[in-house]
Amino acid sequence: MLKHTIAVCLTAAGLVALAPAASAQAPITLSPEESQTLCAEWLPKLTQRTTKLTERINGGPEVRGSVANLKARVEGQRKKGHNDTADRLQKRADKRSGRLPELAAAKQKLDAFAGAHCKAGK
């Protein structure tokens, strides 16, 4: 589920990032209704999703899916002598902590797009 959520966020951020490049080739126009739907429904959902994922990854050992939780599980597995499982969990923790810059960049792109294209008066 986490991989799917991250993939959706990064895809959306990629589309937002590619929009200026695509508009250099051919302008993309949205109707006012489409623009309002994008600004009112999609951007808040994607922003909330990136925020939740960041909070989850940065959570404490009691938060399932957090880096701290994975590292605590690594220590537990090492104490039991299950080094293969501990190594696998450590790789997951390292990969998950590596997602933080990607999530921060996606959130920044979403915020920039909202600031540039979504007006409060629409």
- pLDDT per residue over 57-76, tens digit each? 999 999 999 999 999 999 99
pLDDT tens, residue by residue, 74-116: 999 999 999 999 999 999 999 999 999 999 999 999 998 888 8
Alpha-carbon span 121 to 36, nearest angstrom: 10
Q: Tokens 């939740």 identify what position?
A: 52
Please say whether the beta carbons of 66 and 60 come within 8 A.
yes
| Cα angle for residues 118, 119, 122 (degrees, 5° grid) | 105
Average pLDDT over all residues of the chain: 83
pLDDT tens, residue by residue, 21-41: 544 577 777 777 887 888 889
Please give the helix or strand (H or E) that residue 80 lies within, else none. Answer: helix 67-80
Nearest one of 97, 104, 102 to 70, comparing CA atoms: 97
Does position 11 have pLDDT exceeding 70, yes or no? no
